[in-house]
Chains A and B, each alone.
Chain A
Amino acid sequence: MNKIIKYVLYDIVRNKIIVAYTLFLLLLSIGVFNLGGSPDKGLLSLLNLVLLTVPLISIVFGTTHFYNSYEFMELLVSQPIRRSKIFMSEYLGVALSLSAAFMIGVGIPVLLFAPGATGLYLVLTGVFITFIFVALAFLASVITRDKAKGIGIALLLWFYFALIYDGIVLFILYSFGDYPLEYATLALTALNPVDLGRVMVLLNLDVSAMMGYTGALYKSIFGSLWGIGLAFAVMVLWVLVPVLVSRRVFKRRDM
């Protein structure tokens, strides 16, 4: 597997988008921390920016990379290599390089300006979000052979998770405001990795007091080691399910 990852990484590093992405994150993080205010405030602003941009860039980069590597994969498929190996090498190549960019671009400034548990959660969340959205990108790419359609599906997924989903949740909360919704919102959070990441970081920032009963419930759950473990387990599921589904589709498809 390492052999093929090597060539995938080589290809990614050669096209300079990944370098630009690293610099963009670096500038963003340093800028946010230098705006003044406490490091906690900086983390909060950074969290919101990261949760908007990282999914978008991961999913768009993942999809375009998959379509651009089609020739590469076609070449390898006629060689004595397992198809799943080709697929996993592509996936890990993209996910690892984007994560590395994130760790340099956001991880280092966080370590310098706001070291601590919250910063660690922010970086971990970002890495998970990267892996999840690259997986969703690959899922969108194996569903259709048409590049334009694939990128369209990918963008729709991003729209859904980053924007529409919150609208739906708000609508539900507003419509059923007379009922106890604590556990329902908890379930709704788990259904969106972006929200899950947001809640995990927020609860470490001591702003949960502003979130009312739901916040208190979240605090009691995510505050414990067990709750954090559960949240990360859900994140892992969010990575594994799309990766395994798309790998299965890739193994059975005609080149």
Chain B
Amino acid sequence: MYKSYGKLQVLRGVSVELDKGKVISIIGPNGSGKTTMSKCILGMVLPDSGDIRFNGESVLKKYAYRSQIGYMPQIGKYPENMKIRQVIEMIRDIRKDAAVDDELIGLYRLEEMYEKRMGALSGGTKQKVSAALAFMFEPQVLILDEPTAGLDPFAAEILKGKILKEKKKGKLILITSHVMSEIEEVADEVLCLVDGSVMFYETISDLKAQTQETRLSRAVAKIMNEGYKP
């Protein structure tokens, strides 16, 4: 995939294959193209060139495949004057045929706040709504963009538990994050983007073995400092 915004090249030839049943963490410095890459997969941003294949089929200019993706944006933006209940009902209305998993709504006690307007919610509560919506329809693929950034530790724990649970069901879960300890807890593999291209894509255990470090943050820092040696 290639993508540029005007003169700014964001993705320069990112080419990866992601398999189901894994939790893959996308890391990289700010502005390295993590969010752009996930938005490309969702069709929110159209790549300049390249292709995105989902189960072997190109998804460019398609839309039905999105019923298999749950997306939790970095900053959830919702219509200010809709209530939580209305937003959830609307998305359910759109995805009528899908199975419904409202475990997170229960765990986050969102029902108690159903009548609140989206505009009146705190950032963390919006994140909870985003998470609940992403997991609601048993999608095959989950894309979580910095999911725990605005959540309190308790809510973040619930989310991590949910991620591991969904992984056991054989789903592909992509997480962009900056918190290495968190990645270590939930992810199997790490995909590192730097300046819009893939720097490395390895399993966490391989990374630790190569660098002879016990902590992921150290291992990644070591590779970043020395440049990548395959």
Contacts and interface: CB of A to CB of B under 8 A. Distances in A.
A82 B62 CA distance: 8
B71 A78 contact: yes
Which range contains the number of A residues in contact with the other chain?
20 to 34
A147 interface: no
Contacts, number: 61
A78 B44 contact: yes
A220 interface: no
B118 to A, nearest CB: 9
A4 to B, nearest CB: 8
Contacts of B197: none
Interface in B53-97: 63-67, 69, 71, 73, 77-82, 87, 90-91, 93-95
B49 to A, nearest CB: 14
Given A252-B46, A254-B46, A255-B45, A81 B80 contact: no
A11 B81 CA distance: 8
A72 interface: yes
A106 B71 CA distance: 46
B80 A83 contact: no
Contacts of B46: 252, 254
A168 interface: no
Contacts of A82: 63
Contact of A78 (B42, B64, B90, B93): B42
Nearest to B98: A80
Interface string B160-172: 0000000000000
Given A3-B93, A254-B44, A254-B46, A80 B77 contact: no
Interface residues of B, number: 27
Main secondary structure on chain A at its contact with chain B? helix
Nearest to A253: B46
Contact of B78 (A75, A79, A252): A75
B43 interface: yes
Given A14-B81, A71-B78, A81 B45 contact: no
A240 to B, nearest CB: 22
B95 A80 contact: yes
Contacts of B66: 78-81
Contacts of A81: 63, 66, 94
A146 interface: no
Contact of A72 (B39, B42, B79): B79
B60 to A, nearest CB: 11
A70 B93 CA distance: 20
A72 B81 CA distance: 10
B228 interface: no
Contact of B77 (A15, A71, A79, A254): A71
Nearest to B80: A71
B5 interface: yes
Given A79-B66, A79-B91, 7 more contacts: A3-B93, A4-B94, A75-B87, A80-B64, A80-B65, A254-B44, A254-B46
Contacts of B39: 254-255
B63 A83 contact: yes
A76 B44 CA distance: 10
Give 5 closest A-B pairs by Cβ, nearest first.
Answer: A80-B67, A80-B66, A71-B77, A254-B45, A72-B79
Interface string A74-92: 1111111111000000000
A71 B95 contact: no
